[in-house]
């Protein structure tokens, strides 16, 4: 990766002969950016561009450059890549669009490019990329004239769009290095992260992700890096989470975006949901040390803004700190009706004392010096009128910071005249430990993200996310694709010690009568057929069958119902089960194409998809992780025992989840699995029904 970010020499292939407005000439941009290395050009028709001699072919170059930048029509790109790798060039950036981002032909062209590179030990960034920007070294592959920051921020952006490079001021505030991996045909986010892990010029990493390959390796890499460098990620396409119909309850409850949320959280990646939050969180990490606790002191010139800030704290997981009693001495006898608390409403004191900035300083110093306050938010009015020249907040902040030796974060929000807001925020831009935000929400979003990061660092490091090799000792053979129900599905569970309710699959009425007589009434009757995945919705389940007469009638009713609704369906039989009463839960699996098997536990029964009370974890899970899943459920107080009712046997539920997660890793072809319901009782838990969807 070093040669992508700091090439000693570069060849540009496909550079425009035009310069100036509208040319988008990457040679012009490279020169403007101050690149210190050797520049070569390949062009078959003109002898020079901007005074730089061209070569008609890559083979005619006087040396082998560290990097080639290709900006040709997509049909000409494979030939250019072939020329580069034959000449010995090992690093290529393909700017061109129209590959896997476009159509099937483009996908094939991209595969050709990657195959050519790998055959010759070369690596490709892109295609469909703006490439690399490195202001520390003066190198850019961009075709946009991005100004070079003379004091680059220690924040590196890894994106799948060049817009994050061009618009850094709008998306991350400031930026140092940046790489647009584009379609990620070859070089992916994992390799870039491995490079940034040891990069001394990177202290904060920001990811823009449209998707990911090598999901588990990404999690291992990110979880390791996060111990020393925060990673902030925006994952686009959130609304596609439920777009694809699922064949099971589990599939409908675990969408792509929910899994991304889960995976990033388990690795400690700070996920932001939109660009407003991204800017706020980046600003907080650029300016603040992470909060050591969730308690904030708030200073405001109006009580209304104090209430708004308190509401925001609750929204984002922070809280108001206790009011320091030492600050009670600020209260004025002349306005004995004005009692101080947190948030601190300063305007009455400012009016009486004649110095808003004076009480502003005193209150913030008192808050930041108090051991129960972890950070502060200050809202201050500023105006251009000379009548309000006393409202010099930057000068006050610098005096406040002398009394803040622990470098507790101080978030400032200006309101009033725009010109004054911009001017005073600019004055504070370089002050350490201070950041100006555009709204209360953004300030609290940013501070809350640093607190989440601190909490993650204080927890034990997550374990290895690598999927274990499938254990062959328990495995039976599964079909290559299809849906397993009834005895076929239950036999898979038996091998993993999953507790099954006693049951017999009856082929005829006599068999059902014999099974019920053996296990004892009451029993449950269920239609078992791949055509009846949600049998409760279709009337395929009969409960409380109390005697033989009811069983015979129920058996006939189910057969008639099956033939009427699915005349061409294949009936495996009618399952006769011992009726067990307990709290209904759902346990299940879904295999995500990026992160592998995901375990689900939640409220079960016919209202599963209505309640949507679920907890998720990447499989396999430990007993502690399984117990944590149960504690995360809204129904957990009921499981423990509430309102005088006895709780369920939680150890058996934990064991069921652990064993189910082992099953998931042993059967990579299982796409979805439902245990719904799992009946939990004070003595044990029982898997009542199972449905397994198999196939890639």
The helix (H) or strand (E) run that includes residue 603 is strand 596-603
With a cut of 70, say whether residue 26 has pLDDT above it.
yes
Mean pLDDT of 442-447: 98
Read off the tokens for 260.
Answer: 């991304």
pLDDT value of residue 249? 37
Q: What is the pLDDT of residues 509-559, one digit of tens each?
A: 999 999 999 989 999 999 988 888 778 788 999 989 999 999 999 999 999
Q: What is the pLDDT of residues 54-87, one digit of tens each?
A: 999 999 999 999 999 999 999 999 999 999 999 9
pLDDT value of residue 536? 79
What sign for the dihedral angle of Cα 347, 349, 353, 355? negative
With a cut of 70, say whether residue 255 has pLDDT above it.
no
Mean pLDDT of 376-402: 91
Q: What is the 3-state secondary structure (H, E, C) of 72-105?
A: CCHHHHHHHHHHHHHHCCCEEEECCCCCCCCCHH
Q: List 297's β-bridge partners, or say none.
A: 376
With a cut of 70, say whether residue 224 has pLDDT above it.
yes
How many beta carbons lie within 10 A of that of residue 523, not counting itself? 27
Q: What is the pLDDT of residues 482-498, one digit of tens each?
A: 888 877 888 899 889 99
Instruction: Grade residue 244 by pLDDT with cuts at 50, 70 and 90.
Output: very low
Mean per-residue pLDDT of the chain: 91
Judged by average pLDDT, the poorest of 308-317, 461-470, 529-538 is 529-538
With a cut of 50, say whether residue 253 has pLDDT above it.
no
Place of tokens 């053979």: 477
What percent of the chain has pLDDT above 70?
97
Look at phi and psi of residue 515 and say left if phi exceeds 0, alpha if psi is from -120 to 50, else beta.
alpha
Q: What is the pLDDT of residues 269-291, one digit of tens each?
A: 999 999 999 999 999 999 999 99
Task: List domains and CATH numbers for the chain.
Answer: 2-236 (3.40.50.720), 289-458 (3.40.50.261), 502-578 (3.30.1490.20), 583-694 (3.30.470.20)
CB 160 within 8 A of CB 182: yes
pLDDT value of residue 250? 41
Cβ neighbourhood burial of 354 (10 Å; 0-12, 13-18, 19+):
exposed
Q: Please provide the DSSP assignment of 531-566 as one string.
A: T-TTTTTTT-EEEEE-SHHHHHHHHHHHHHHHHHH-
Strands 123-125, 91-94: parallel, antiparallel or unpaired by DSSP? parallel
SS3 (DSSP) at 223: helix
pLDDT value of residue 355? 84
Q: What is the rounded CA–CA span in Å between residue 523 and residue 580?
A: 8
pLDDT value of residue 242? 38
Look at phi and psi of residue 171 and say left if phi exceeds 0, alpha if psi is from -120 to 50, else beta.
alpha
With a cut of 60, say whether residue 248 has pLDDT above it.
no
Cβ neighbourhood burial of 303 (10 Å; 0-12, 13-18, 19+):
middle
Q: What is the rounded CA–CA span in Å between residue 394 and residue 414?
A: 11
pLDDT value of residue 270? 98
Query: What 8-state DSSP symbol labels residue 500?
Result: B
Judged by average pLDDT, the poorest of 22-26, 43-47, 401-405 is 22-26
Instruction: Grade residue 474 by pLDDT with cuts at 50, 70 and 90.
Output: low
Mean pLDDT of 639-646: 86
Percent helix, strand, coil in the chain, to 5, is 40, 20, 40
Mean pLDDT of 312-328: 95
With a cut of 80, say whether residue 610 has pLDDT above it.
no
Mean pLDDT of 310-324: 96
> Is the pTM above the cut of 0.85?
yes
């Amino acid at each position: 990766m070093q040669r992508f970010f700091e090439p000693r020499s570069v060849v540009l292939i496909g550079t425009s002969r035009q310069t100036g407005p509208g040319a988008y000439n990457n040679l012009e941009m490279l020169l403007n950016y101050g690149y210190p290395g050797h520049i070569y050009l390949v062009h078959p028709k003109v002898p020079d561009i901007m005074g730089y001699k061209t070569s008609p072919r890559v083979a005619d170059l006087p040396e082998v450059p560290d990097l080639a930048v290709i900006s040709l029509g997509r049909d000409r790109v494979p030939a250019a890549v072939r020329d580069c790798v034959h000449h010995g060039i090992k690093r290529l950036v393909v700017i061109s669009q129209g590959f896997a981002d476009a159509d099937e032909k483009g996908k094939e062209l991209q595969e050709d490019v990657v195959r050519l590179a790998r055959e010759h030990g070369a690596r490709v960034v892109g295609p469909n990329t703006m490439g690399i920007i490195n202001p520390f070294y003066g190198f850019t592959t961009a075709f946009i004239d991005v100004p070079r920051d003379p004091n680059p921020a220690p924040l590196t952006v890894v994106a799948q769009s060049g817009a994050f490079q061009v618009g850094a001021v709008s998306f991350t505030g400031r930026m140092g290095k940046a790489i647009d991996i584009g379609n990620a045909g070859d070089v992916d986010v994992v390799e870039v992260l491995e490079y940034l892990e040891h990069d001394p010029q990177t202290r904060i990493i920001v990811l823009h992700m449209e998707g990911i390959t090598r999901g588990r390796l990404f999690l291992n890499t990110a979880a390791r890096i996060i111990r020393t460098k925060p990673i902030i990620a925006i994952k686009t396409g959130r609304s596609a989470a439920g777009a694809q119909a699922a064949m099971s309850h589990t599939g409908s409850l675990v969408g792509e975006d929910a899994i991304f949320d889960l995976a990033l959280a388990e690795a400690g990646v700070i996920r932001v949901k939109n660009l407003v939050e991204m800017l706020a969180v980046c600003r907080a990490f650029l300016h603040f040390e992470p909060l050591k606790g969730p308690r904030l002191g708030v200073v405001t010139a109006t009580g209304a803004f104090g209430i708004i800030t308190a509401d925001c704290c609750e929204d984002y997981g922070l809280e108001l700190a206790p009011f320091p009693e030492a600050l009670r001495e600020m209260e004025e006898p002349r306005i004995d009706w004005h009692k101080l608390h947190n948030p601190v409403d300063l305007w009455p004191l400012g009016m009486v004392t004649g110095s808003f900035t004076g009480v502003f300083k005193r209150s913030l110093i008192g808050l930041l010096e108090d051991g129960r306050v972890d950070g502060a938010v200050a809202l201050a009015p500023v105006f251009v009128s000379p009548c309000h020249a006393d409202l010099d907040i930057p000068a006050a902040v610098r005096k406040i910071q002398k009394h803040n030796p622990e470098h507790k974060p101080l978030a400032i929000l200006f309101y009033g005249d725009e010109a004054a807001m911009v001017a005073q925020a600019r004055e504070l831009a370089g002050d350490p430990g201070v950041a100006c935000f555009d709204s209360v929400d953004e300030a609290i979003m940013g501070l809350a993200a640093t607190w989440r990061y601190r909490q993650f660092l204080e927890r034990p490091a997550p374990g290895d996310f690598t999927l274990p090799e499938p254990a062959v000792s328990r495995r039976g053979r599964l079909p290559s694709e299809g849906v397993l129900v009834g005895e076929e599905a239950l036999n898979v569970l038996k091998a993993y010690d999953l507790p099954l309710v006693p049951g017999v699959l009856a082929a005829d009425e006599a068999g059902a009568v014999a099974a019920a007589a053996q296990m004892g009434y009451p029993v449950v009757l269920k239609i078992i057929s791949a055509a009846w995945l949600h049998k409760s919705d279709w009337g395929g389940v009969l409960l409380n069958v109390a005697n033989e007469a009811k069983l015979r009638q129920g058996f006939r009713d189910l057969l008639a119902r099956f033939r009427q609704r699915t005349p061409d369906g294949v009936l495996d039989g009618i399952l006769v089960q011992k009726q067990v009463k307990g709290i209904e839960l759902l346990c299940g699996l879904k295999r995500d194409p990026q992160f592998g098997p995901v375990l689900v536990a939640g409220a079960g029964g016919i209202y599963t998809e209505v309640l949507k009370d679920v907890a998720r974890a990447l499989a396999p899970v430990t007993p502690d992780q399984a117990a944590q899943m149960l504690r995360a459920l809204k129904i957990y107080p009921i499981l423990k025992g509430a309102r005088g009712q006895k709780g369920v046997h939680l150890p058996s539920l934990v064991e069921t989840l652990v064993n189910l997660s082992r099953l998931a890793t042993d059967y990579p072809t299982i796409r979805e699995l439902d245990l719904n319901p799992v009946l939990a009782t004070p003595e044990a838990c029982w898997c009542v029904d199972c449905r397994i969807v198999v196939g890639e």
